[in-house]
Amino acid sequence: MADLPPLREVIKAHGLSASKALGQNFLFDEQLLDRIAAIPGDLHDKAVLEIGPGPGGLTRALLRAGARVTAIERDSRCLPALAQLEEAFPGQLTVIEADALKVDHAQLMGEPFAVVANLPYNVGTRLFTNWLSSQQWPPHWQSLTLMFQQEVAKRIVAKPGSGEYGRLAVLAQWRSRAKLAMKVHRSAFTPPPKVMSAIVHVEPDAAPEGVSVSTLARVTEAAFGQRRKMLRQSLKGLHGGLEAVEELQIDSTRRAETVSVEEFVGIARQLDQSTK
């Protein structure tokens, strides 16, 4: 591997001033980046999809860990810096200039892959819910290691009974294991964002039988759409919802934030069965 210039110099040499519109907050601390790249486990010769490599800090760390990286970046200004990495790690890096929201990731990768990304909040959350809503399960991805605003990360791993528990937690936990892998201080980024960040790591689990992701989404949407209301109120508009709650002997005076992931899965299963 050739010696690479420090990331700050790369930014300067390629005139990569951080674009607010593209949600660019760069990480330069190579030790921190190596620790992030270690979260998914041994990456040697593994296929990794990185979204939003920017100037390539995290990309370098993934390449150092021996991964075969496919990176999707929509800012063409970053491509020359990434081309240098392609040269430094021959045969290990493929860069695609595109909006990651418009790419079929499974088709692009053609084999099971780990996802690693430090993305702007809105793009990250949309990709995350797309990956978790996959019809195919186990999905094409083997793990997701993603940077979020700390507040969003807490919502993903939240347990029932907390104010953070909601649709995102149920989606992330009903057929996968989600954990908060690392907190990242805002000062680690250039420029520093207003809020703290955290990395979430998700691995797929066996999916409960007889439940479709779309029905589960409808149930949680209805329940958490009126999270302060009792289930007998919030599920009123959901055809068969109240009957399902009764059938499962779930107290209909409870509020959505007290209902466990397993109970939501049970309600969705009842609905799917009753429409068969």
Q: How far is the CB of 50 from ligand SAM (least distance, A)?
A: 7
Contact 198, 180 (CB under 8 A): yes
Closest separation in Å from C-beta 227 to ligand SAM: 30
Using the structure block, give the residue that is written with the tokens 């690693």.
116
73 binds ligand SAM (CB under 6 A): yes
- Minimum CB separation of residue 209 from ligand SAM in Å reads 35
Q: Which residues pair with 146 in a beta bridge?
A: 117, 200
Binding mask 103-132 for ligand SAM (x = CB under 6 A): ---------------xxx--x---------
Nearest residue (CB) to ligand SAM, 54 versus 166: 54
CB of 197 to ligand SAM, least distance (A): 9
According to the binding rule CB under 6 A, does residue 57 interact with ligand SAM?
yes
**238 lies in the binding site for ligand SAM (CB under 6 A):** no
Among 14, 22, 196, 208, binds ligand SAM (CB under 6 A): 22
Smallest distance from the beta carbon of 269 to ligand SAM, in angstroms?
A: 35
Choose among 85, 87, 36, 94: nearest CA to 65. 36
CB of 109 to ligand SAM, least distance (A): 15
| Closest by Cα among 38, 7, 221, 240 to 133 | 221
3-state secondary structure of 106: helix
Nearest C-alpha neighbor of 72 from the set 55, 50, 102: 50
Give 57 or 139: the residue with its C-beta nearer to ligand SAM: 57
* Pairwise CA distance, residues 210 & 191, whole Å: 47
Tell me: does residue 184 bind ligand SAM (CB under 6 A): no
Residue 100 within binding range of ligand SAM, rule CB under 6 A: yes
Q: In terms of CB distance, is 114 or 235 closer to ligand SAM?
A: 114
Phi, psi of 166 (to 5 degrees): -170, -155
Where are the strands (E) in the chain, listed by range? 26-27, 47-51, 68-73, 93-97, 113-118, 141-149, 176-184, 189-190, 197-204
Among 4, 10, 11, 25, binds ligand SAM (CB under 6 A): 25
Contact between 37 and ligand SAM by CB under 6 A: the answer reads no
Consecutive H or E run containing 10: helix 7-13
Q: Token match 């209909």: residue?
A: 252
Does 51 sit near ligand SAM (CB under 6 A)?
Answer: yes
Cα 110 to Cα 39, 78, 102, 131, 186, distances in angstroms = 23, 25, 17, 16, 35
Asked if residue 99 belongs to a known ligand binding site, the reply is yes
Which residues define the annotated binding site?
A: 25, 27, 52, 73, 99, 118
Binding site for ligand SAM (CB under 6 A): 22-27, 51-54, 57-58, 72-75, 78, 99-101, 118-120, 123
